[in-house]
Amino acid sequence: MPDEPKGSSSQIVERKLSTILSADVAGYSRLMGEDEEQTLKTFRGHKKVFESLVAMHHGRIFNTAGDAILAEFTSVVAAVRCATDIQAALRTRNDQLAQDRQVKFRMGINLGDVLIQGDDLMGDGVNVAARLQTAAEPGGICISGSVHDQIVNKLSLSFQSLGEKSYKNIQQPVRTFSITEAEGRRALPSPKPAGPPGGAAKWIAGAVVAALLAIGGGYWAYTVRERNSAAPATAAVAQPAQPTPEAANPSATAPVVEAPAPATNAAPSAGAPVAMKAAAPRETKPRETAPPVTGSAGGTSGARVHNHDGAYSGQICYLAFRAEPLQCHDRAGTIRGDKITGEWLESAGRNVTMNLSGDIDPTGHVTILMHSQYPDGTGVSTINLSGTVHERVLDASGNSRRGRPVTIYWQKNSKDAH
């Protein structure tokens, strides 16, 4: 047998079907130009949250470059769920920063065939994910049609179709969707869909047609007026005057009430009184006033009071802090009047119970105290939070006594939504 050419094994290309998540920071160059140290510190903290959530959803990060991160998942559902969890966690961290200092990721997710090169992945499957990411808003997520088809009936998400978009160096247009909302989370920023092709041309054509119709209508009115004015003025004299009903029966006429002419009109000729029918007095109604808004104590207040009563549920997240990783748990509470309460077993192994209590003012501002303790009453931890209740959503954040950031994002249960 002839000798096998050297390096022939390196020519074998391995492929596989994989879900790729591509992410980068929106406006990273501007952020670094304004404050390098603070931006780098924030980015590193965000990246730790990103990495921990990718690992939690059984994915792996296979490439990073500057502010860009590429992750691989064997499950499409896991990839999308991971992306929504990351954006929710990073939004909570960004809420602690000034608006112009927030580090927001844009994300793109694609299911496609990829090339395997060691631990790295390459090919159109990766490139499409990277291009989808550029279509996303800061803090938002765009997915390909192949991803949408796999998750549409598996996850409680809302989507917005952006149509078929053409991306740089991608041969075929890509069906693109933006995730607008995830169940139990705040809405995600989403780009506006592009208008239909030729929309501007159709608008201009419509305007031209409307202008032509207006000109034609004006010309028609002008010709009618000219024809009417050309009729001989004696035509009216040629017709015998018809007696009016009043002339035929003077007694049938209504009495005439004399009134002076308004000051703004020219004075009538001498000896000619002005005859006007007396106007009926105008009926006036009293102005309606809105009833005062009463607070929970029965007094009046300038603030609008909403009824937030009902059961709420969602996540409480303990953010990464020192050596402790990010932890999120599903919890629930109840709002009655201006009070919020909740209780659950925080740690089954240690038999620790968490008690939540709080107050809601008429504007919807809420202050919450969370206190965990052992069965004998010995305290374990205390957490103070503040936030708002608005449109069936409770959103609050704060810190434990040790300084660990904690967030609550709960929604009113559907059965109590009305």
Give the domain ranges of the chain.
13-182, 310-416
**Amino acid symbol at 41:** K
pLDDT on residue 343: 92
Q: Which residue intervals of 95-144 are DSSP H helices?
A: 124-135
Q: Which of 83, 77, 214 is nearest to 139 (CA)?
A: 83
Q: Rounded distance, CA 314 to CA 224, Å?
A: 72
pLDDT on residue 4: 46
H-run or E-run covering 149: helix 145-151
Contact 318, 404 (CB under 8 A): yes
Q: Which of 181, 183, 184, 413 is nearest to 314 (CA)?
A: 184
Q: Rounded distance, CA 108 to CA 22, Å?
A: 5
| Token pair listed for 336 | 């009655």
pLDDT reading at 199 higher than 80: no
Range with top average pLDDT, 135-139, 150-154, 188-192:
135-139
Task: Render pLDDT for 361-399 as a digit per residue (tens, 0 to 9).
Answer: 988 889 999 988 888 878 888 899 988 888 788 888 888
Q: Rounded distance, CA 318 to CA 324, Å?
A: 9
Q: Rounded distance, CA 387 to CA 312, Å?
A: 15
Q: Rounded distance, CA 54 to CA 150, Å?
A: 19
Instruction: Report the predicted TM-score, pTM, of the whole model to 2 decimal places.
Output: 0.51
The CB-side HSE value for 252 (13 A sphere, CA atoms) comes to: 6
Q: Rounded distance, CA 96 to CA 28, Å?
A: 18
| Token pair listed for 382 | 């205390």
Q: Which of 160, 172, 159, 103 is nearest to 131 (CA)?
A: 172
Q: Which of 127-141, 299-313, 365-379 has the lowest mean pLDDT?
A: 299-313
Q: Rounded distance, CA 187 to CA 91, Å?
A: 11
Task: Render pLDDT for 54-87 as a digit per residue (tens, 0 to 9).
Answer: 999 999 999 999 999 999 999 999 999 999 999 9
Contact 119, 214 (CB under 8 A): no
**Amino acid symbol at 339:** K
pLDDT reading at 249 higher than 70: no
Which residue did the predictor score with more confidence, 255 or 210?
Answer: 210
With the CA atoms of 54, 56, 57 and 62 taken in that order, what torsion angle do they form, in degrees rounded to the nearest 10? 30
Q: Does the domain made of 13-182 have the CATH classification 1.20.1250.20?
A: no
Q: Which of 21, 9, 6, 25 is nearest to 72 (CA)?
A: 21
What integer is the mean pLDDT of 85-98? 93
Residue with tokens 């112009």: 100
Task: Render pLDDT for 214-239 as a digit per residue (tens, 0 to 9).
Answer: 665 565 556 656 665 555 444 444 44
How many beta carbons lie within 10 A of that of residue 405, not counting itself?
19
pLDDT on residue 153: 87
DSSP 3-state of 40 = helix
Q: Rounded distance, CA 139 to CA 182, Å?
A: 13
